Amino acid sequence: MAARDAARRAGPARHRPAPAGKLYEEEEDDALPDSDALPDSDDEVELDKPRPIQIVLAHEDDHNFELDESALEKILLQEHIKDLNIVVVSVAGAFRKGKSFLLDFMLRYMYNRTSPCWIGGNTEPLTGFTWRGGCERETTGIQIWSEVFVIEKPNGTKVAVLLMDTQGAFDSQSTIKDCATVFALSTMTSSVQVYNLSQNIQEDDLQHLQLFTEYGRLAMEEIYQKPFQTLMFLIRDWSYPYEHAYGLEGGRKFLEKRLQVKQNQHEELQNVRKHIHSCFSNLGCFLLPHPGLKVATNPNFDGRLNDIDEDFKNELRNLIPLLLAPENLVEKEISGSKVTCRDLVEYFKAYIKIYQGEELPHPKSMLQATAEANNLAAVAGAKDLYSKGMEQVCGGDKPYLAPSDLEQKHQDFRESAIRHFRSVKKMGGEEFCRRYQEQLEGEIEEIYANFVKHNDGKNIFYAARTPATLFAVMFAMYIISGLTGFLGMNSIAALCNLVLGMALISFCTWAYVKYSGEFREVGTAIDQIAEAIWEQRNPRKVFSKLFEVLRRRTVRRALTSVPRQRLSSNNNKKKN
């Protein structure tokens, strides 16, 4: 007891798991397993001491998730349960709303379900999944209880019951993608998802539920029916029992009112409600009162029942059996087929791979999504303004425009489009909007390139550029070949004849491509070569080197012929 008193004086209590069968005995603190840190994926998972085991690890540095396959397999592939159908009860919702606290009462029920006093004694601390008071998050990723409970249903079949705790949503360290991934994974793998809410069902709660379930539905292939099973809205700290009574019946009436689709509702509100109805086979709601001021304000509260209000305890006695009594257990099904413990391991592996990849779109916050839509609309308006201006100048049946004039018009309309983009009121801030302005400028350049091609197509000389270039090459090679052959430069003449033949073949090939429409890649290559030659059409550039070679060869022949003439004249003199 002295150890416990010292812990209380040190600050808020962190409540740790206790071994099975010893949850409600007074123990010394050193009998409890050390759970300051959950077992790492590389550590051996011991199952002799029941405790929460982390199966989905959250990496805060890159906001990614990793499945601890060895821990999951060690729990679910035990010989006595691996082929049993599984019941998975998961609790999800915003952080610091008492999810782990609720799961520990579920553990009490599972270990003492045959006892009418399963809820425990008034002075027994609440242990199991780690929880504590305060405003900072406690659970990260996804945890499951290491002991899988084997329960016999009223029809005589045995099922395996697994309890799952999830990372709270909307804390200061999690992105929308993190929250959506955890909620979607737990919903996809659970047969009963308890959606833990505070005080009321607000419209943003329904919108987040729509986002998270859609993120889960995207990852599931070939959905022929409702993809998820049971969703239980658990409204904590319900303050309006005079309107809807505590418990299941009051929750049912309240939920019907909240999810009702009305004719005069906005389409957005109707779509949210239709989506939720289309995702879950069963919907329920339970209204739970506030547990009392001692629970909310006492930093040393450790879950003792004598610190909890009587109304809360009474409704808790109704809620837990509603979820976990043998006659109420909901077996996990996927695509209409019941899932065993062995199957669930494979589904976890498949789902986590999907969320680790890039196939799915990343969910965004409402502000980011609105800012993106706002900026994209401004980009689209500016592009449309630019395109309409250019169409009036060189589009459709407009006559050919000189390239310099087209370039000037392009610059004018480009500046006008950018001014239009900047004038539109946009969300997201200067840095965010600058990225979209750069995107606009890039897309305008692409549109301009298309207009240039369209304008060049109207120039009959441009259309005849390739055949004219090839004909000019053939004519030039023919003349040069004859001239060099006459001068005795046979190697150059042969080279010119080769180029002449290649140009003739290219001309015939180009003509066939334009006539038949086949081998378009070959025709494009010929056009590019002809364009390159056309760009160098200045006679100085084309023929300067050739004339230089001819001049040097002529001078060399002249110099070699002079000694021969002198030698022949000397020989004639000697004979005389």
pLDDT, tens digit, 9 for 90 and up, residues 488-523: 888 888 888 888 888 888 888 888 887 777 877 887
**Distance between CA atoms of residues 149 and 128, nearest Å:** 14
Q: What is the pLDDT of residue 294?
A: 79
Q: What is the pLDDT of residue 2?
A: 38
CA distances in angstroms from 180 to 55, 63, 93, 418, listed in the order given: 17, 12, 11, 36
pLDDT at 223 over 60: no
Mean pLDDT value across residues 134-147:
68
Q: What is the pLDDT of residue 551?
A: 56
- 69-108, pLDDT tens digit by residue? 888 889 999 989 889 999 999 988 776 566 778 888 899 8
* Identity of the amino acid at 493: A
176-180, 207-211, 248-252: least confidently modelled range:
176-180
pLDDT bucket at 460, cuts 50 / 70 / 90 = low
What integer best gives the mean pLDDT of the chain? 76
Q: What is the pLDDT of residue 567?
A: 43
Q: What is the pLDDT of residue 34?
A: 40
Mean pLDDT value across residues 403-418:
90
- 300-317, pLDDT tens digit by residue? 777 788 888 888 889 999
CB of 88 closer than 8 Å to CB of 270: no
CB of 120 closer than 8 Å to CB of 197: no
Which tokens belong to 511? Answer: 């003509």
* Identity of the amino acid at 73: E
pLDDT at 287 over 90: yes
Report which of residues 130 and 252 the model is more confident about: 252
Report which of residues 242 and 353 the model is more confident about: 242
Contacting residues for 213 by C-beta, under 8 A, at least 6 apart: 183, 184, 187, 227, 228, 275, 276, 279, 280
Locate all alpha helices (DSSP H) within 395-464, ordered by sequence.
Answer: 403-423, 429-457, 460-463
Q: What is the pLDDT of residue 89?
A: 92
Q: What is the pLDDT of residue 224?
A: 55
- 390-405, pLDDT tens digit by residue? 988 888 778 878 888 8
Which tokens belong to 29? Answer: 């603190």
Parallel, antiparallel, or unpaired for β 158-166 and 149-152? Answer: antiparallel
Which tokens belong to 571? Answer: 């020989």
**Distance between CA atoms of residues 333 and 88, nearest Å:** 10
Which H/E stretch holds residue 563? helix 539-575
pLDDT at 10 over 80: no
pLDDT bucket at 143, cuts 50 / 70 / 90 = confident
pLDDT bucket at 203, cuts 50 / 70 / 90 = confident
**Distance between CA atoms of residues 167 and 182, nearest Å:** 7
How many C-beta atoms surround the C-beta of residue 181 within 10 A? 32
Q: What is the pLDDT of residue 385?
A: 92
- The DSSP code for 401 is -
CA-based R_g, the chain, Å: 40
Residues paired with residue 87 on neighbouring β-strands, in sequence order: 161
> Whats the size of the chain, residue-wise?
576
pLDDT at 243 over 70: yes
The three-class DSSP label of residue 494 is helix
Q: Please report where in the chains the tokens 């999907």 appear, as a residue.
A: 354
- The DSSP code for 459 is -
pLDDT bucket at 372, cuts 50 / 70 / 90 = confident
CB of 305 closer than 8 Å to CB of 124: yes
Mean pLDDT value across residues 523-547:
63
Q: How much of the chain exceeds pLDDT 70, in percent? A: 74
